[in-house]
Structure formats: structure tokens, C-alpha cells
């Protein structure tokens, strides 16, 4: 292997790793706030790419129907809840969030995004549509069991993933897509060629990680989110609603997933079911950070990207084997650090 | 009625066997699928439903079983029955390797580790030339016994039925044994197992290995029935399906595994027949239904559909007559007044907070030492330091004259210390007597092998009899067969005392045993404590009930802000100025 090839692999790994960083950070975010291991995170990425691809191709993305369907279910839940508890005070807000916003976005996608509109408008609509899926998923699948143990929530998350892939195949079809996205002429630094794409991906990822870190470390709202995760009952007494906190976390995760979809779209071919492996690789990174520390989780994700990139050079068929076997020694190392964990169920 | 229940399993088995001659070949094939999957789910019942660990990689172990036998029988032409042994051994070894790394960690790590293992193995098999890559291995021999050919739908049906029934019978048998009781306690955390001398990590590993071996057995059966394997049925989606089948059916019971796999396989088949003509042959919308069903189950019937169904069927109470009994060897009692536990300079800090500060304590045989103190005084922390639940920052601990360095609850249990918990820790789904028998875990020896072959019957009679005897002592013999969760809180505390007594202790640590008891019950508790003291037990009693403590305590010790502020005869201590300040404020004293 020459230095040139090494540099290309490194750049590739870093760019892929940056997408995994986004996955890892979103997973850590959702997990710390709601104790949910958000398996469908990767699906949102794939859906974001597929949505943009549909706009670029001049068709209406299936995301719209998914959004409307989820909105209908969420609205039904909201109304049923109001009827069964007799508490109508929060219904207007619920309806605004679960019905008005999704419907408005769907209308924008249907009538406000013609084929000739600028790429940045299409990207914005894509991000809005995909982001909006996440809180609706939270409302429909997780809010009814919000207090359950992490294991129950994990099973629910897997169910959501299954449901989403099944729907994804239905609305997007089985073909893989690649988006044009943003691109420009590559430039050289020394002997090494850099593509604007990979530099953009890396920069945006690091900015997002920094922003989240500051959000949780410096703002009251961020700290309130963490408090809700740490002690549900206690946070509730202090006026922090764990449900609102969970919802906020999901909106952020949805946004991160949507952005990741835009970033990865021009680099890799994605289809309705590509998200799962993507999310899992973010997981391996997140687990290195113990599902809690942002910078470490990000470093783990970069490592996964680099290992994958170099592994595909030496043993491309075994690329995924290497990446996913990597988690076993990582877990072993972590198990030595936390010798005693006691988890109570229900 | 009870006799009728006893005959139910064999009758059901015969009826199912008759099915081989009634079902159409298509139905028989579906049934073979159901039973093959159910074997995996039975393993998941042990692991997930009973021991509380989630695996997302069971399909990988099925794959190990299938590929080991497929490779051996096609490459070396050896008998499928030797292939079976190899398959079980291989999966057992892999499970031990992965399990020893992950079972000590909290649940979702194990789930993710198994998930990653499943993905790695899938790509590994798919890229290995010797295993036929993604094309798989063909020409796997069918099964035969003594020249008797077992090919064809009907024979496969019977073979699968026999294997499934054996697995179900075996697992039920294990769960009903000493080992099984410990496994069943793990779902509510490892504290109970550890307090009564069982290594919870080893038991978790055991559950994981059992599940892996059953999965491999299913894979072996699959390989020799289909006579062809490729990586597809061993991927992550099948792992998820196994987990869902188990949870939907009812992960707490062996029968739930069969119900779950039958429901999922049949409903999926029917749905595909309906959906494909409408949405095209590639549709996977049935998975959407499946996912929604799963969410509904998690939402409304988290313990699965079987308990829901059974709640409509009047089942007889399976109360077996248990005669009180003693184990062959009990610990010799200490002479009255002998020093049992001596702790000097016990100290424990949490960061900057000193929870227990230089506390010394000694407890003697035939003595009740009362421990008093306002909330937050450090009583429970001291308890945890003595019982080994928390490591001490510094201090010396001597038990029956032996100096103890790093202690853990298991070791203290074997030394002769037993405790109750301030927040009751009982396995609510187990009967009262089984909960008490958990306390006697370290008095038995029978392991999983002896339990499998019914060689633990005498020991079981002894353990249950011993447990019954403790229940008689605390006056709860009549409730022995009720589920522990159905008892009032006061009674649950008494069950905890009985469980601690079942451990045959020298020193008994009681953490607020009278909380939640009525006046009459408190009087009975006082009498019980008197009896126990007269028998030579050393008792350390944390209690807020002054009536009880002044009635039974021989000495009193008072703690405040992590320090011992008084110790001595109850009358002296109550008159102590510092004690009055601690309880009533400075002005009152």
C-alpha cells in the first residue's frame, strides 16, 4: 500500500466515520434522555436520502404518505387519551404538533416543491419531512410505554425498525439511489486530493457534535433533558416532563438523521433497508463511549469508519465481519471497567 | 383434578403425534417449521423470560448448529448423530466465550453484542468458500435411526415433535429445581442470588449457554430436514423474529414458546397469502402488521398472550404437600455470649460524603443488637458494609474470629450471615415456599445435570421441607403455595425473614422487619425474635419501632451523621443527651 492509497483510504474512512459520528451522537442523545436504544436511527438516514432522491427525480417522495399515516395514528392516540383521561387541556398543543405540523409539511412537499425548485429548498423540505417522522414515532410507539425498562424499550425500537423497513419497501421500492447533492471540483493539498464532499461531511459532523455538547453542558434546557433521563420521577416533581424531554430528544435525533442522509447520499448508494447497518456501525462507536460520552462516542465512530475503510482494502469481503467482531473486544474492555452492573426489570 | 393435570402433557403429546397421520403434507411442513422455531424459543424463555437477558443473536446459534453438522456430514460423511454432538458442543463453546464477556454487563449490551455476533457470522459464512458462500451447502443427509429412514413430512414431523417435547420437558424440569429457582430470581436483579450464596454471573452464563445449545439443536434439525442450508435463515431478521415469537407467546412459560412460534408462523403465512395478490409478490407489509402486534403486546400484555389465555381457564392450584424437614448438616450454634461479628473503624465514603465514619460494632451470639438512627444516619450503608454488598473504604472485620479482607455477599452467606432487605426483594411470580427455598440455595448441591435426570429428588424434598419449616416458624405455612407477589407487605417482610433463616445463619441482619406489620403481628415477630435469640442466633436489628426494639433489644446502638453516638443498655442509651438531641433537637435535651 502506497502513501497515496493510504491517504485516500484515510479520507474515505474519515468521511464515513463522520456519518457514523452523527449516528453515534444521535443514539447517545436519545439513550441518555429516554433510555431507548433507537434502532431505527439508520432508517431515518436512508429515508432522508430516498426522499431527496425522489425530489431530484421530480416525484413525490413516499415519506409524505408515511408522515400522514403516522400523524393520523398519533392524532387518534391524542384524542383517545383526552377522552379516556378527561383532560382536554393539552389536546390543542398535541393536535398542533401531531396533526397540523405534519399536514402542513406534507402540503409543502406536495405543492410547494416543484421539480425546478432550487436544490437547497429540496434539501430543506427533505430535512423537515424526515425530522418530523421521529417525534411521531415517539408518540405512537414509545410514549405509551415510556416508563418501561431499557430492554422493553429496545424490543419496541426493533419493532419500529421492522415496521419502518416494511413500509419503506412499500413506499420507496427496492432500488438503491444516490443523490447529486452538493459537490464541487476536488482540490489538492500536497499530493493528496480532497473532495469537497468529504470535507463538507467531516466539517458538518464535527460542528453538530460541538453544538450538542454545548447544548447539554451549557444550557438549562439541555440539563433538564439529562435530568429527565437520570431520574424520571424526580424530574417530574421539578416540573420537567419526561415525555416532553423524550420528544425533544427524538426531534433532535430525527434532525441529525435527516442531515446525515443528505451528507451520505452522494457518497453511497442507499436503499430502503440500508439504514440498519449504518445505524449499527454508529452503535459500535456509541458503545465505545458507553452510550454516554459524546466526544468518546464520536472518536469510536471515526475509528469504525477508518477500520472499515482499511478493511475494505485488504479483505473487502470480510469488511462487515471485522467491524462487527470489533465490538466483542470493546465490550470485554468495558466489562472490565464496570465489573458490577445490576439491572432491575419492571 | 390434580391427577388430570398430571396426565395433560402426555395426552397432549400423543394427540400431537397423531397429527402426523391426519395433517396434509403441506400442514405437516408448516408444523415442522413451527416446532423447529419453538425449540429456539424455548431457549429464549430460559434466557429472556426467566433470567431476564435479551438475545438478538439466536439465529446465529441456530446457524452454528446447522452449518457444523452440514459441513461435517457432507465433507467427512459422518453420521448426523455425531454432527449433533459437534453442533451442540460448538454452540456451547461459542456461547461461553461471548457470554463470559457480556453477561455481567447490563441487558442492552448483551443484546447488542449478540446482534453484532449474528451479523458477523452471517457475512463470515457468506464469504467462506468451504461453506459454499451465499449459495450454501446442498446434499445434507437426512436422518435415520438403526437403518430406519426418517425422511418425508410425516417422519420429520414426528422427529421434530419428539425433540421439541423433550426440550420442553427438560426445561420445565430444570426450572423447577434448585438451579432453576436461582435462574428465576435473576429477572429481578442479581441481589437475591448473590445474598444467598449463588454466583449470579455464572447462572446468567448458564442461561445463555442453555439458550444457545437449544438454538443449535434446532439448527441441526433444520439442516437435516431441509437437507440444504444457506446463510439467509440465520441472519439478524430471523433473530428478531425468534425474540418476537417468544415475547408474543409469553416469555415466562415454556408453553409460550410454542404458542408464539405457532401464531407468528401461521399468521405470517396467511397474511402473505392475502397481501401478495394485492401489493405484489415482493411486499413485506406483513412485517408491519407483525411490528404493530409486537408493540401492542408490549403495551397491553407485556408478559405475552399465554398468560392472557390462561387467565380464562380455571387452573387448579398446584399445591404439593410439603413435610417440614431438616438438612443433614446444619451449622453448630455458638455459645451464648460468644463474639460473632466484630467490626472496627468501619468507614465508607462516596466521593466527598462520609456515609459511615469510623463505626465499631460487635454482635454476640444469643443477643439482639438494636440499631437506631434518624434517616440518613448511615444504618443501611453500615448494613451493606457488613454484608459485603458495598466494599468498605477502611476498617477491620472479623467474623467468628476469622479476619475478613475483601468480602462479597456470597462469601458472607457461606460464613453464616443472612439478611433481609429494607425494600422487599422477593420474586413475585414464584410461590412463597420457593422464595424461602432460595435462601437455602447453598445448602444443596444438585446441579443442572442431576436436575435433568431427576437425581435431585431427595435433596429437593429436603430443601422444600426445610423451607416449609421456616415458614411455620414465621407463621405463614398456610400461604406457602401462594405467589409471593400476592401477599401483603407485612407478610412479604416475614417471608424475607423465613428466607434468611433458611440460609442457616449464625448472624441475622434484619432491616426494618416490622414496617407494615399490624400490632398483633408485631407481637408475634417479637416472640419469634426471642425464640431465635434463645436458639443462639446473633441478631442485628435496624428498626424505627421503639416498642418492638425496647422489647427485644439486649443492647442498643445509635448512629447519626455516619457516626456511632451511643451504645449500651437500652435504658442508658435512651437517656443519653446526644441521642435525645439527634431525635428531638438540641433544645429538647
Query: Which residue ranges make up each domain of chain A?
Result: 3-176+191-337
**For a pLDDT cut of 70, what percent of chain A falls above it?**
91
**Chain A residues close to B299, C-beta within 8 Å:** 144-145
Is residue A73 within 8 angstroms of chain B, CB to CB? no
Residue of B nearest to A153 (CA): B298
Is residue A321 within 8 angstroms of chain B, CB to CB? yes
pLDDT at B3: 62
Check pLDDT > 70 for residue B317: no
Compute CA distances B35 → A165, B149, B218, whole Å.
27, 20, 9
Q: How far is B582 from chain A (nearest CA, A)?
A: 28
pLDDT at A346: 35
ipTM entry = 0.86
* Residue A343 to residue B189, Cβ atoms within 8 A: yes
CA-CA distance, B282 to A132, in Å (whole number)? 28
**Chain B residues close to A276, C-beta within 8 Å:** 236
Check pLDDT > 80 for residue B554: yes
CA-CA distance, B107 to A169, in Å (whole number)? 31
* pLDDT tens digits, one per residue of B440-479: 888 888 888 888 888 888 888 889 999 999 999 888 888 8
**Chain B residues close to A332, C-beta within 8 Å:** 101
* Residue B102 to residue A335, Cβ atoms within 8 A: yes
Helix (H) or strand (E) holding B559: strand B555-560
pLDDT at B547: 82
* Residue A324 to residue B117, Cβ atoms within 8 A: yes
Residue of A nearest to B121 (CA): A321
- Is residue B345 a contact partner of residue B395, using CB atoms and an 8 Å limit? yes
pLDDT at A181: 62
**Chain B residues close to A149, C-beta within 8 Å:** 107
Is residue A318 within 8 angstroms of chain B, CB to CB? yes
* pLDDT tens digits, one per residue of A160-169: 999 999 999 9
**For a pLDDT cut of 70, what percent of chain B falls above it?**
97
Compute CA distances A232 → A145, A242, B210, whole Å.
13, 6, 36
Mean pLDDT (whole number) for B46-51 = 90
**Chain A residues close to B108, C-beta within 8 Å:** 37, 150-151, 154
* pLDDT tens digits, one per residue of B180-198: 999 999 888 888 888 898 8
- Please name which of A335, A327, A279 lies closest in space to residue A27, comparing C-alpha atoms: A279
Check pLDDT > 60 for residue A302: yes
Partners of residue B364 on adjacent β-strands? B339
CA-CA distance, B29 to B156, in Å (whole number)? 8
pTM comes to 0.89
- Please name which of B62, B66, B25, B20 lies closest in space to residue B225, comparing C-alpha atoms: B66
**Chain A residues close to B285, C-beta within 8 Å:** 166-167, 170
**Chain A residues close to B286, C-beta within 8 Å:** 166
Average pLDDT, chain A: 84
pLDDT band, very low/low/confident/very high, at B301 (cuts 50, 70, 90): confident
pLDDT band, very low/low/confident/very high, at A49 (cuts 50, 70, 90): very high
* Residue A318 to residue B123, Cβ atoms within 8 A: yes
Q: How far is A182 from chain B (nearest CA, A)?
A: 33
CA-CA distance, B417 to B404, in Å (whole number)? 13
pLDDT at B315: 64
Listed in sequence order, the residues at least 6 apart from B106 whose beta carbon sits closer than 8 Å to its beta carbon are A150, A341, A343
Q: How far is B287 from chain A (nearest CA, A)?
A: 6
Nearest to A162 among B127, B240, B283 (CB): B240
* pLDDT tens digits, one per residue of A167-178: 999 999 888 888
Q: How far is B375 from chain A (nearest CA, A)?
A: 19
**Chain B residues close to A77, C-beta within 8 Å:** none
CA-CA distance, A311 to A320, in Å (whole number)? 9
* Residue B187 to residue A280, Cβ atoms within 8 A: no
Range in A101-115, A328-342, B44-58 the model is least confident about: A328-342
pLDDT at A343: 41
* Residue A318 to residue B124, Cβ atoms within 8 A: yes
pLDDT at A255: 94
Indicate the length of chain B as a whole number: 589
Domains defined along chain B, listed by start:
10-234 (no CATH), 335-416+505-589 (3.40.50.300), 426-504 (no CATH)
DSSP state of B333: P
Q: 3-state DSSP: chain B helix, strand, coil percent, rounded to 5?
A: 60, 15, 30
CA-CA distance, A240 to A312, in Å (whole number)? 47
* Residue B298 to residue A156, Cβ atoms within 8 A: yes
Strands A187-189 and A192-194 turn out to be antiparallel
Is residue A316 within 8 angstroms of chain B, CB to CB? no
- Is residue A104 a contact partner of residue A146, using CB atoms and an 8 Å limit? no
* pLDDT tens digits, one per residue of B9-42: 888 888 888 888 888 888 899 999 999 999 999 9
Mean pLDDT (whole number) for A249-271 = 90
CA-CA distance, B363 to B365, in Å (whole number)? 7
Mean pLDDT (whole number) for B271-297 = 87
Check pLDDT > 80 for residue B329: no
CA-CA distance, B493 to B503, in Å (whole number)? 16
- Is residue B43 a contact partner of residue B58, using CB atoms and an 8 Å limit? yes
Query: From the centroid of its chain, how far is CA A254?
Result: 5
**Chain B residues close to A148, C-beta within 8 Å:** 298, 302
* Residue A159 to residue B244, Cβ atoms within 8 A: yes
* pLDDT tens digits, one per residue of A217-234: 888 888 877 777 677 777
pLDDT band, very low/low/confident/very high, at A183 (cuts 50, 70, 90): low
Cell 454466583: give the residue.
Answer: B199
- Is residue B431 a contact partner of residue B481, using CB atoms and an 8 Å limit? yes
Cβ-in-10-Å burial (0-12, 13-18, 19+) of A194 comes to middle
Nearest to B109 among A277, A331, A339 (CB): A331
pLDDT at A292: 66
Check pLDDT > 60 for residue B63: yes
Check pLDDT > 90 for residue B335: no
CA-CA distance, B294 to B301, in Å (whole number)? 10
Residue B215 vs residue B271, higher pLDDT: B215
Mean pLDDT (whole number) for B501-528 = 87
**For a pLDDT cut of 90, what percent of chain B falls above it?**
31
pLDDT at A258: 94
- Is residue B331 a contact partner of residue B538, using CB atoms and an 8 Å limit? no
Residue of B nearest to A149 (CA): B107
Cα angle value B444/B450/B454 (rounded, 5°): 105
Is residue A325 within 8 angstroms of chain B, CB to CB? yes
* Residue B244 to residue A150, Cβ atoms within 8 A: no
Check pLDDT > 70 for residue B255: yes
Instruction: Give the side-chain half-sphere CA count within 13 A for B326.
Output: 4
Count CB atoms within 10 A of the CB of residue B139.
Answer: 9
Listed in sequence order, the residues at least 6 apart from A2 whose beta carbon sits closer than 8 Å to its beta carbon are none
pLDDT band, very low/low/confident/very high, at A238 (cuts 50, 70, 90): confident
User: Chain A to chain B, count of Cβ pairs less than 8 Å apart?
Assistant: 143
pLDDT at A345: 37
C-alpha grid cell, residue B272: 402473505
Amino acid at each position: 500500500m502506497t502513501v497515496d492509497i493510504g491517504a485516500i483510504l484515510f479520507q474515505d474512512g474519515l468521511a464515513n466515520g463522520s456519518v457514523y459520528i452523527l449516528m453515534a451522537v444521535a443514539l447517545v442523545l436519545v439513550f441518555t434522555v429516554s433510555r431507548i436504544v433507537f434502532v431505527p436511527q439508520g432508517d431515518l438516514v436512508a429515508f432522508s436520502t430516498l426522499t431527496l432522491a425522489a425530489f431530484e427525480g421530480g416525484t413525490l417522495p413516499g415519506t409524505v404518505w408515511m408522515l400522514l399515516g403516522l400523524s393520523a395514528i398519533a392524532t387518534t392516540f391524542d384524542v383517545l387519551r383526552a377522552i379516556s383521561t378527561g383532560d382536554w387541556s393539552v389536546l390543542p398543543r398535541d393536535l398542533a404538533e401531531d396533526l397540523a405540523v405534519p399536514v402542513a409539511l406534507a402540503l409543502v412537499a406536495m405543492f410547494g416543491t416543484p421539480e425546478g425548485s432550487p436544490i437547497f429548498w429540496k434539501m430543506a423540505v427533505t430535512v423537515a419531512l424526515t425530522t418530523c417522522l421521529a417525534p411521531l414515532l415517539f408518540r405512537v410507539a414509545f410514549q405509551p410505554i415510556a416508563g418501561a425498562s431499557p430492554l422493553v424499550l429496545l424490543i419496541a425500537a426493533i419493532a419500529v425498525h421492522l415496521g419502518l423497513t416494511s413500509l419503506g419497501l412499500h413506499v420507496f421500492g427496492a432500488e438503491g439511489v444516490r443523490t447529486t447533492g452538493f459537490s464541487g471540483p476536488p482540490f489538492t493539498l500536497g499530493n493528496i486530493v480532497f473532495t469537497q464532499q468529504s470535507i463538507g461531511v467531516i466539517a458538518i459532523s464535527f460542528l453538530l457534535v460541538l453544538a450538542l455538547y454545548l447544548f447539554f453542558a451549557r444550557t438549562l434546557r439541555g440539563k433538564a433533558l439529562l435530568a429527565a433521563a437520570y431520574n424520571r420521577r424526580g424530574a417530574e416533581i421539578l416540573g420537567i416532563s419526561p415525555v416532553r424531554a423524550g420528544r425533544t430528544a427524538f426531534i433532535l435525533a430525527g434532525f441529525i438523521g435527516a442531515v446525515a442522509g443528505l451528507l451520505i447520499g452522494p457518497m453511497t448508494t442507499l436503499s430502503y433497508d440500508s439504514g440498519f447497518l449504518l445505524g449499527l456501525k454508529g452503535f459500535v462507536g456509541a458503545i465505545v463511549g458507553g452510550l454516554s460520552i459524546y466526544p468518546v462516542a464520536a472518536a469510536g465512530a471515526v475509528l469504525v469508519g477508518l477500520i472499515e475503510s482499511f478493511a475494505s482494502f485488504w479483505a473487502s469481503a470480510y469488511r462487515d465481519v471485522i467491524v462487527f467482531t470489533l465490538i466483542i473486544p470493546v465490550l470485554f474492555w468495558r466489562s472490565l471497567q464496570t465489573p458490577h452492573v445490576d439491572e432491575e426489570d419492571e | 383434578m390434580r391427577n388430570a393435570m398430571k396426565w395433560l402433557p402426555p395426552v397432549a403429546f400423543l394427540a400431537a403425534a397423531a397429527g402426523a397421520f391426519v395433517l396434509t403434507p403441506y400442514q405437516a411442513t408448516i408444523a415442522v417449521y413451527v416446532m423447529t422455531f419453538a425449540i429456539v424459543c424455548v431457549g429464549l424463555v430460559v434466557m429472556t423470560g426467566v433470567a431476564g437477558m435479551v438475545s438478538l443473536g439466536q439465529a446465529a446459534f441456530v446457524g452454528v448448529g446447522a452449518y457444523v453438522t452440514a459441513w461435517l456430514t457432507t465433507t467427512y460423511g459422518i453420521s448426523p448423530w455425531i454432527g449433533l454432538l459437534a453442533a451442540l458442543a460448538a454452540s456451547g463453546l461459542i456461547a461461553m466465550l461471548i457470554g463470559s464477556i457480556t453477561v455481567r454487563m447490563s441487558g442492552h449490551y448483551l443484546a447488542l453484542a449478540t446482534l453484532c455476533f449474528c451479523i458477523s457470522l452471517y457475512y463470515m459464512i457468506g464469504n467462506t468458500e468451504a461453506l459454499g458462500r451465499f449459495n450454501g451447502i446442498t446434499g445434507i443427509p437426512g436422518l435415520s435411526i438403526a437403518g430406519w429412514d426418517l425422511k418425508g413430512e410425516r417422519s420429520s414431523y414426528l422427529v421434530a415433535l419428539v425433540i421439541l417435547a423433550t426440550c420442553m420437558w427438560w426445561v420445565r424440569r430444570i426450572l423447577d429445581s434448585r438451579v432453576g429457582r436461582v435462574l428465576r430470581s435473576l429477572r429481578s436483579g442479581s441481589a437475591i442470588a448473590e445474598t444467598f450464596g449463588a454466583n449470579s454471573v455464572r447462572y446468567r452464563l448458564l442461561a445463555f449457554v442453555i439458550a444457545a445449545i437449544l438454538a443449535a439443536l434446532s439448527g441441526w434439525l433444520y439442516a437435516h430436514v431441509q437437507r440444504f442450508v444457506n446463510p439467509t435463515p440465520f441472519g439478524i431478521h430471523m433473530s428478531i423474529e425468534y425474540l418476537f415469537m417468544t415475547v408474543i407467546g409469553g416469555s415466562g412459560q415454556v408453553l409460550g414458546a410454542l404458542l408464539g412460534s405457532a401464531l407468528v408462523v401461521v399468521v405470517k403465512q396467511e397474511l402473505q397469502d392475502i397481501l401478495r395478490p394485492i401489493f405484489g409478490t415482493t411486499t413485506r407489509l406483513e412485517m408491519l402488521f407483525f411490528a404493530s402486534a409486537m408493540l401492542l403486546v408490549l403495551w397491553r400484555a407485556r408478559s405475552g398472550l399465554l398468560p392472557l389465555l390462561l387467565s380464562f381457564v380455571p387452573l387448579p392450584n398446584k399445591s404439593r404437600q410439603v413435610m417440614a424437614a431438616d438438612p443433614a448438616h446444619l451449622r453448630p450454634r455458638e455459645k451464648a455470649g460468644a463474639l460473632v461479628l466484630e467490626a472496627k473503624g468501619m468507614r465508607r465514603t462516596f466521593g466527598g460524603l462520609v456515609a459511615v465514619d469510623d463505626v465499631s460494632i460487635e454482635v454476640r451470639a444469643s443477643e439482639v443488637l438494636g440499631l437506631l438512627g434518624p434517616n440518613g444516619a448511615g444504618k443501611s450503608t453500615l448494613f451493606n458494609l457488613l454484608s459485603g454488598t458495598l466494599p468498605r473504604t477502611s476498617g477491620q472485620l472479623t467474623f467468628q474470629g476469622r479476619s475478613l479482607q475483601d468480602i462479597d455477599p456470597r462469601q458472607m452467606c457461606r460464613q453464616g450471615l443472612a439478611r433481609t432487605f429494607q425494600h422487599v426483594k422477593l420474586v413475585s411470580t414464584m410461590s412463597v415456599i420457593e422464595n424461602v427455598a432460595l435462601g437455602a440455595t447453598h445448602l444443596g448441591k444438585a446441579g443442572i445435570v442431576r436436575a435433568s435426570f431427576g437425581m435431585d429428588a431427595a435433596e429437593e424434598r429436603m430443601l422444600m421441607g426445610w423451607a416449609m419449616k421456616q415458614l411455620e416458624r414465621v407463621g405463614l405455612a398456610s400461604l406457602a403455595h401462594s405467589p409471593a407477589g400476592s401477599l401483603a407487605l407485612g407478610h412479604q417482610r416475614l417471608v424475607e425473614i423465613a428466607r434468611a433463616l433458611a440460609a442457616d445463619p449464625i448472624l441475622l441482619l434484619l432491616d426494618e422487619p416490622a414496617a407494615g406489620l399490624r400490632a398483633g403481628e408485631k407481637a408475634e415477630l417479637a416472640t419469634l425474635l426471642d425464640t431465635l435469640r434463645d436458639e443462639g442466633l446473633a441478631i442485628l436489628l435496624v428498626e424505627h419501632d421503639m416498642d418492638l426494639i425496647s422489647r427485644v433489644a439486649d443492647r442498643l446502638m445509635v448512629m447519626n451523621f455516619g457516626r456511632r453516638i451511643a451504645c449500651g443498655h437500652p435504658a442508658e442509651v435512651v437517656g443519653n443527651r446526644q441521642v435525645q438531641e439527634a431525635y428531638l433537637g438540641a433544645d429538647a435535651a
